[in-house]
Each structure stands twice: as structure tokens, then as C-alpha cells.
Amino acid sequence: MKKQLVIIGIVALLVSVGLSGCDILKSDRDKFVGIWRSDSGENNFTLFSNGTFVMPDQYYGQRTGKWSLKDGKFLMIYDPTQGQNFTSDYDYTFSNNDKTITLIDLNGTIFSYNKS
């Protein structure tokens, strides 16, 4: 009996150590939070855990707004006080251990970003 408890304890320890570094349990929302950069250097953006974003813009200095996930889509809702009263929505997929995201807009245009 004592031997079985030791074995169970060791297995439990190994499983907990194995899962502690595993992102499988991370939600899509958590995966989005961070700084995202495109290869071209255009349309980079930062997503914050409070559901807001900042995006540098050559005309406005920077765009701000809110982001969310709804019905399997990634939504960016631009701040109307900046003259940008619209919402962009994208299908998305993560790859490269959640360090790369591919966004596809309603027109089928594909955008790829890497997390910094």
C-alpha cells in the first residue's frame, strides 16, 4: 500500500510539472494578449487583457478601440471619437506555439502577425 502511494505521488508530480509549462489550457483570449507585428511592419497592434487595443497609424498617430472574440471571430471595434467608427472582424488561426496568428477578413484577405 505504501509503495502504491509513492508511485501515485510520483505520477501526480510528473503530470503537474508537465502541465505547468503547457499552453493547451490557455484560452484563445489569453493567446491574443500581447504585441503583434506583421512582416511588412504595417498594421502592428497591441492587445491588452482589459479588451482594448492600440495600433500605430500614419494618419491618426494611433488608433485605439476595443477587441473581443465572438462566435469564433476576432473583432476590433475602433474608437468612434477618432473618426474611425467601424468594426473589423476576422476568422483566425494560431500556429507556431501560438506565436503566429493568421487573420482572414470578410473579403478573404489574409494577414499574418508574429507575437513579440
Please state the pTM of the whole predicted model. 0.75
What average pLDDT does the structure give for the chain?
A: 84
Which pLDDT band, with edges at 50, 70 and 90, does 55 fall under?
Answer: very high
Asked if pLDDT for residue 4 goes beyond 60, the answer is no
What is the pLDDT, as a whole number, of residue 85? Answer: 79
Can you tell me whether residue 74 is helix, strand or coil? strand
For the CA atoms of the chain, what is the radius of gyration? Answer: 20
Range of the domain at 33: 26-115
Percent of the chain at pLDDT > 70 equals 78
Q: Is residue 92 part of a domain?
A: yes
CATH number, residue 35: 2.40.128.290
Question: Which residues are within 8 A (CB) of 16 and not within 5 positions of it... i.e. 6 or more apart?
Answer: none
Please give the torsion angle defined by the CA atoms of residues 33, 75, 85 and 79, in that order, rounded to the nearest 10 degrees.
-20
At residue 87, the pLDDT reads: 93
